[in-house]
Structure 1
Amino acid sequence: MGTKDASSLDHQHGTDCGFAGTLKNIQLNDLIQMCCLSASSICMRVTKDDRIGTIFIVDGEIVHAACEDIVGEEAFFRILGWQTGSFESIEVSTTPQRTIQNNYHYLIMEAARRVDEKAGLESEPSATGHDLPEDTADDRLRVLIVDDSPMMRKILSSMLTASNRVKVVGMASNGEEAISMIDDLSPDLVTLDVNMPVMDGTSTIKHIMIKKPCPVVITSNPGDGSSKSIFNFLELGAVDFMSKPTKNQDILVQQQKILERIRVAATATVGNFRIARIPKAKTGNPTDKPVDRVCRRLVIVITGPGGHPEQMSLLSGLVPAMADEDGAVVALQSLPSSFSEPFARYLFERCGCQASPIDHETSLCAGNCYVGNHGWPLTVTLNDHRPVIVPNAPEKGAIQVDRLLSTAASVFKQHLAVVLLSGANTGEQEGLRAVHENGGRIILRKRASGMVAEPLDQVVEAGLADEEVNPSDLIKAVVNGFDLKH
């Protein structure tokens, strides 16, 4: 499915408008994936003998393809079915009408399947079935561990295989080894270290997402300035992050948490991954104090595995939209509590949102975002008739997200909206019930569009979802709902 001739790029002599040159022996599907992963906009003309096809990519999405007398997905599949040819980028003045709706992961994999199917039909059928994997009937979760520490690989392997639901199919000491092993083993999930020799975690996840997308969980030790790189990993397609096991904590508790994170992450539909579309941040100072406007409406945005890019994209527009409604936003993440302050700063740097970590009693001011962790005890209450959010000491047996939602519902009543994104942890759902009982709303990002739907399925099955909304309509659904309830 490659192009073995040259790729020529438009170049105007005497101007700085990019590079002109050739790429030899490159796979066409790899080039398309690189354009999509980098959120590029390009029109690609592909030539094979006397046949010509065009593929339009807009902001990382394949929107249109045309080949001979057909358009849309079938044209795309026909073009990628050519084994050799040449391609060039061409200038277009307008974007054509969209004829392709499926995401690029599906399109690339379906194109590859069709090529393989065609090759299989043209080759002689196998005389026996002895080449089937020996563990075809093995339904355990197949995990590849990637870490440069032999000791950590051994620890993670022993913790994972203690469960009869997990099988460690391989261990790699760097990204280069991992890429080769993924091709051979096709694991259900990869645990990926951040800092490694030969090929580090960043390069590795890019290769995985381009070559053979599968759920990836980043493993690292929080701190030492690692938080920003973790956010970058999550925006490159990693489903989740988990801390490496440590000696000074209960090993059985750590094992239980790791197994649960692995189990949930493995349910991710990686083909639904989308790069966060975030407008350029406004200038300002992240240490500026929030404008002292009383918050009269509150939105709590909860995300979990697979939901970080969704949350980033949503908050960039939701926070200013709520400012116009005298409202504020509380953003709950599933990362360690030590990441709250770095995440607030990251939100400001990437989105321009005035964000603060919830590390002390804080007045909720309109137009601001407050960052917390749904494993940390938070309550909403009134102080001198003003709403405040307060971090509390943990209570044994308390479900922290339930406590936050219940107290927020009692203060804001019908002026509260809860938005649930991929992987959102909703505790025992007592908090969600309290939201309903007090007249608030529960809005879900459409499950079919997200990466991890399982926790949201439970909310729908319990009859607690008021709306299930396409990502592009979430902000409108939140704001319009407040307008209707005044």
Structure 2
Amino acid sequence: MTAKPVRVLIVDDSALIRQMLSEMLSSDPEIQVLGAVPDPLVARQKIKELNPDVITLDIEMPRMDGIEFLKKIMSLRPMPVVMVSTLTQHGADATLHALEIGAVDYVAKPTQDIQVGLEEKRAELIAKVKTAARANVMASASRAPAGPRLEIQGRGYSSTEKIVAIGASTGGVEALTSVLSTLPADSPAILITQHMPASFTSTFARRLDRMCAIQVSEAQDGARVLPGHAYIAPGDQHLRLGRNGANYICRVGGQEPVTGHCPSVDVLFDSVAKHAGQNAVGVILTGMGKDGAAGLQKMRASGARTLGQDEASCVVYGMPRVAFEMDAVEFQLPLSKISREILAICTSDNKIKIRV
């Protein structure tokens, strides 16, 4: 029996963009475009009438912007939303906010030569709409706000050599925000690969830095890896853990895709397995595909402890599922318990208390 097509409603104030998105999505036989409307107020009525599976949503629109409309969708009628936003600084900030609210994914709209630039996004747009249709939006809609920061009782870490490596993709902005914002200022050093364009990663790092007790930055080649800091892979280069004498350092470079991605979670995890071994903790979060599964398996084989986000709390249970099925994951946990488990592994006495 043929699967039902994914039914999509397009919301964008540009007639040209509506036309292009409609044509691009309709070119795939597994997608049905129900309509293309110019603003959220019209979209609200169309959602009631047509009950789409996925919405593509512009951010800057008249009468009500996309962020406000997304908030209403996620509070009143949670459903998969793919944001379509510009690659400007404002567009990056707004898109990251949308992902924190509960949008499944985004497609970056070019600022120049829109027709050519958007056409180059055809395959990405189609893939993300299909993935969104299968996403667990209730994982976002029902998620409690980030809890209080965790405080270590006692002497703290058994070694300053502890390294935490985290990989994420679709749904990762919200997941990483949840994990990092609950960690105390003296947490172990953290290296992160999140699938994201180069224009977004520095903005994401700055947003997290404002929200977290730890210091968060985009990784720089040669930077020393220190406790209380998190380093995010630039959106167009791989991040590896390296050594310079007795010190851990960030190694940033290389643009050839690995496991289909640059930056690649597998590249990060492989390097942590090589240089940190049993002093490391590997964490694989929500995301589409299999990037990171093989690398996490190498980490576990090297003596590292490994954690995976469980299916119920994942927006897309892809990367964690593959890793779990490969026996690369030692424990599967809900997102709300991952920061606690990281600290439990990295502390000498395993005693953790909540700071009220």
When normalised by structure 1's length, the TM-score is 0.63
Equivalence for 2:68: 203
Say whether 1:466 aligns with 2:340.
Answer: no
> Partner of 1:191: helix, strand, or coil?
strand
In structure 2, what is the equivalent of residue 370 of structure 1?
231
Distance 2:320 2:205 in 1: 25
**Cα distance in structure 2, aligned partners of 1:397 and 1:426:** 11
Q: 2:97 aligns with which of 232, 238, 255?
A: 232
The answer (yes or no) to whether the contact 1:419–1:444 under 8 Å persists in 2 is yes
- On the 8 A contact 1:375/1:401 being kept in 2, the answer is no
Match of residue 255 from structure 2: 394
Alignment of 1:103-182 (within 5 A): 139-182=4-47
Cα gap change, 1:270 to 1:455, in 2 (>3 Å) = same
| Residues 276 and 310 in structure 1, CA contact (< 8 A), matched pair in contact too | no
What is aligned with 1:306?
A: 171
Deviation at 1:221, TM superposition (A): 1.1
Match of 2:107, as an amino acid? Answer: M
1:448 matched to which residue of 2? Answer: 312
Aligned amino acid, residue 237 of structure 2: W
Separation in structure 2 between the aligned mates of residue 141 and residue 177 of structure 1, nearest angstrom: 21
Do the aligned residues in 1 keep the contact of 2:167 with 2:265 (CA within 8 Å)? no
Residues in 1 aligned to 2:12 and 2:146: alpha-carbon distance in whole angstroms = 31
SS of residue paired to 1:177 = helix
How far residue 174 of structure 1 moved from its aligned partner, in angstroms, is: 0.7
Q: Does 1:244 pair with 2:109? A: yes
Quote the residue 2:212 is aligned against: 351
1:267 to 134, 145, 151: 134
Tell me how far apart the structure 2 counterparts of residues 455 and 188 of structure 1 sit (CA, whole Å): 23
Map Cα deviations across residues 393-422 of structure 1 (whole Å, 9 max, x no partner): 312666532112101110110111122222
Residue of 331, 337, 343 corresponding to 1:479: 343
Residue 254 of structure 1 corresponds to 121
* C-alpha separation in 1, matches of 2:39 and 2:119: 28
- Counterpart residue type for residue 337 of structure 1: A
Q: Find the partner of 1:277 among 127, 141, 146.
A: 146
Whole-angstrom CA distance in 2 between matches of 1:271 and 1:396: 32
Provide the C-alpha distance between the structure 2 equivalents of 1:407 and 1:450, rounded to a whole number of angstroms: 26
2:197 counterpart (332, 336, 340) = 336
Separation in structure 2 between the aligned mates of residue 429 and residue 235 of structure 1, nearest angstrom: 25
Distance in 2 between the 1:373 and 1:360 partners?
10
Q: Return the alpha-carbon distance in structure 2 between the equivalents of residues 346 and 412 of structure 1.
A: 28
Cα separation, 2, equivalents of 1:185 and 1:408: 49
**1:95-114 per-position Cα deviation (integer Å, ceiling 9, x unaligned):** xxxxxxxxxxxxxxxxxxxx
Structure 2 residues not aligned, in runs of 5+: 150-158, 351-356
User: Distance in 1 between the 2:197 and 2:184 partners?
Assistant: 23
Paired-residue identity, %: 27
1:77-96 aligned within 5 A: none
Match among 405, 417, 429 for residue 293 of structure 2: 429
SS at 1:266 equivalent: helix
Q: 1:411 aligns with which of 255, 258, 275?
A: 275
Deviation at 1:383, TM superposition (A): 1.6
Bigger Rg over Cα: 1
TM-score by length of 2: 0.84
* d(CA) in 2 for partners of 1:182, 1:407: 47
Q: 1:425 to 1:388 in 2, by over 3 A?
A: farther
C-alpha distance in 2, partners of 1:445/1:187?
A: 28
Inter-partner Cα distance in structure 2 for 1:228 and 1:307:
15
Is the alpha carbon distance of 1:250 and 1:205 closer, same or farther for their aligned partners in structure 2, counting shifts above 3 Å? closer
| CA-atom RMSD in angstroms | 2.8
Unaligned stretches of 5+ in structure 1?
1-136, 281-293
* Cα displacement (A) at 1:279: 5.2
Cα distance 1:319–1:151, how it changes in 2: closer, same or farther (>3 A)? farther
Deviations 1:61-82 (A, max 9, x none): xxxxxxxxxxxxxxxxxxxxxx
Flag the 1:173–1:465 CA change in 2: closer, same or farther, 3 A.
same
Within a 5 Å distance, the mapping from 1:26-105 to structure 2 comes to none
> In structure 2, do the counterparts of structure 1 residues 406 and 311 end up closer, same or farther at CA, with 3 Å as the change threshold?
same
What code does the residue aligned with 1:376 have? Q
- 2:226 pairs with 1:361: no
State the Cα distance separating 1:230 from its structure 2 match.
Answer: 1.9
Deviation at residue 374 of structure 1 after TM alignment: 6.8
**2:200·2:235 contact (CA, 8 Å) conserved in 1?**
no
SS, match of residue 199 in structure 1: coil
Structure 2 counterpart of 1:222, one-letter code: L
Q: In structure 2, what is the Cα distance between the partners aligned to 1:481 and 1:361?
A: 27
Does residue 383 of the first structure (1) align with residue 239 of the second (2)? no
The Cα of 1:278 is off from its aligned counterpart by 5.7
Task: Note if contact 1:319-1:328 (Cα within 8 Å) is conserved in structure 2.
Answer: no
Show CA shifts across 1:328-369 (max 9, x none). 012332332222222222112222331111143311011111
Alignment size in residue pairs: 334
Is residue 278–residue 312 contact of structure 1 (8 Å, CA) maintained in 2?
Answer: no
Which has the higher relative contact order, 1 or 2, with Cα contacts under 8 A spaced 6 or more apart?
Answer: 2
